[in-house]
Chain A
Amino acid sequence: MHARYAGAAHLALSGVSLRVRWGTCFALVGPNGAGKSTLLKVIAGLLPVQAGDLRVLGHEVGACRAAIAYLPQRSEIDWSFPISVRRLVLSGRYPHLGWLRLPSREDWRVVDAALDQVGLRDLAERQIGELSGGQQQRVLLARALAQDATLLLLDEPLNAVDVTTQRIISEVLHALVQRGKTVIVATHDLDRVQREFDDALFLSEGRVVAVGVHSVRERTLQWMHAANAFDVSHERA
């Protein structure tokens, strides 16, 4: 399939083809600007597919919105907005609530359980901007849990977060996959891809370069090697 940002001349993704099996943990690897975020947005229904066919959870894109949770990069949210952690997590319940409806006691119970799972129950009444980067990432994960989504799309959830957050996110994702949920993660963390993911895809300049955990690992090492070599020569010059 192909995808392009509005007004952009170049395709952000071209000829990308992927197949993610139900109940697996899938990694998207590649340099910055390779199209990982774009691919996640296309799957989430945030960007239109220009050409080609994309079926998500067996439906056309946008047909099963409540079942998809998208965790954007933290910079895409206005953290200074006056809202509590608990209320942000509540927005995971909105697809189940619908318009003009107030949350029930059950909705709040689900929210609190999700906060417990990511270890943020104590910070529930804080304003969202008062949390650390790692805690903010966990809030977004808690929202996906509260939403009870079937497919989770995570954009660099492990980037620049503390060790506790990394551990909790890994545990929660693992538990989700055990329960039959499907998880797609954009990441740089090669060791983790090797250890924790069932399948992987290496993207470069909007194209698929390698498929499968092993070949993605090899491809990434090559790429890192090339990048390092460039850095060294650049420093010397």
Chain B
Amino acid sequence: MSVLEPFQYAFMRSAALAGLVVGVTCALVGTYVVLRRMAFISDALAHTVLPGLVIAYLNRWSMTLGALVAGVITALGIGWLSRRRELREDTAIGIMFTAMFALGILLMSGVRTYRDLAHMLFGNILGVTQAQLLLFSAVAVGVIVALMALHKELELTSFDPLHAQVIGINADRLRYVLLVLVALAVVGAVQLVGVVLTSALLIVPPATAALLAKRLPLVMLLAVLIAVSSTWVGLLLSYYYDVASGAAIVLVCIVCFGVAWGWRQIRRAV
């Protein structure tokens, strides 16, 4: 009997695959989210998909598509409200977040069954279907290709938007692009693994990696490794100890962060 025995079950294999795709995507997008101090946005996006879900549900459209559209609208709204820094980005996020969530609740109060929506909103890594996995993988590939293609522009606008602007790179437009990429990643991931796990995978592995590495590509690589290995270790723990899988994964991530944080404190003291 090996440690990997649980993966003979199809639902565990699907969960491991979901962990891989979601982990890679969230860690890459999350690196920018953390370095650009937009951590609040993942939480907001995870909630603002509600009106999209409800509208799609009422019209019998694809709920995943409804969520994606709502997420993108939120991202564009945040970008538009905070353009030219007339409104701070965190304020813009707070406004879009509450507006969209309230709209969702309002629409939902007319719907009888809450259960289907709750499932869409909170997700479950052990209940991932093949179709969901395929759809998210397509979204993930698109997001990752965009991140790679715009790497030097996104990097530059993250630490020195003024230079970018002076040499003709529109920092505002790139921010829109990044917000949309974050929205696609978050909304897709939420469908697969739920709100809390998505937020955790988006923030904690990149934050951990940023403590350890001093080059952007290295931060991204480390974040991906931490995110993916955390999901797998978490899944095994939940199997063997019969505990909630999402919570186990989040806590493994947090342990990684704790170790990195401790290591840095020791190194600083020596």
Q: Name A residues whose Cβ lies closer than 8 Å to a Cβ of B.
A: 6-7, 44-46, 62, 65-66, 68-70, 72, 76-79, 81-84, 87-88, 91, 94-95, 97, 99-100, 127-128, 143, 147
Contact = CB atoms under 8 A, between A and B. Distances in A.
Contacts of B216: 81-83
B162 A94 contact: no
B163 A91 contact: yes
Nearest to B158: A81
Interface stretch (B95-103, B147-155, B185-193, B260-268): B147-155
A77 B210 contact: no
A6 B85 contact: yes
B219 A77 contact: no
A82 B210 contact: yes
A95 B168 contact: yes
- Is chain A's interface secondary structure helix, strand, loop, or mixed overall? mixed
B86 A77 contact: no
Given A6-B85, A82-B218, A82-B219, A77 B168 contact: no
Contacts of A81: 35, 158-159, 216
A195 B85 CA distance: 40
Interface string B202-219: 000000001001111011
Contacts, number: 75
Interface string B113-153: 00000000000000000000000000000000000010011
B160 A91 contact: yes
B166 A68 contact: yes
Contacts of A128: 159
B147 to A, nearest CB: 13
Given A77-B159, A91-B156, A100-B149, 10 more contacts: A46-B166, A62-B168, A65-B168, A82-B219, A83-B159, A91-B160, A91-B163, A94-B156, A94-B167, A143-B163
A6 B153 contact: no
Interface of B: 35, 84-86, 149, 152-153, 155-156, 158-160, 162-163, 165-169, 210, 213-216, 218-219
A84 B215 contact: yes
A74 B222 CA distance: 29
Given A6-B85, A82-B215, A45 B152 contact: no
Contacts of B215: 82-84, 87, 127
A72 B162 contact: yes
Contacts of A99: 153
B261 to A, nearest CB: 16
B267 to A, nearest CB: 14
A78 B162 contact: no
Contacts of A78: 158-160
B160 A77 contact: yes
A7 B83 CA distance: 12
Contacts of B162: 44, 46, 70, 72, 76-77
27 contacts: A7-B86, A46-B166, A66-B167, A68-B167, A69-B166, A70-B166, A72-B160, A72-B163, A76-B160, A76-B162, A79-B159, A81-B159, A82-B210, A82-B214, A82-B215, A82-B219, A83-B215, A88-B159, A88-B160, A91-B152, A91-B156, A94-B152, A94-B156, A94-B167, A95-B168, A97-B152, A143-B163
A46 B166 CA distance: 7
Nearest to B169: A94
A69 B47 CA distance: 42
Contacts of B168: 62, 65-66, 95
B133 to A, nearest CB: 30
Nearest to A144: B163
B156 A6 contact: no
A88 B160 CA distance: 9
Contacts of B85: 6
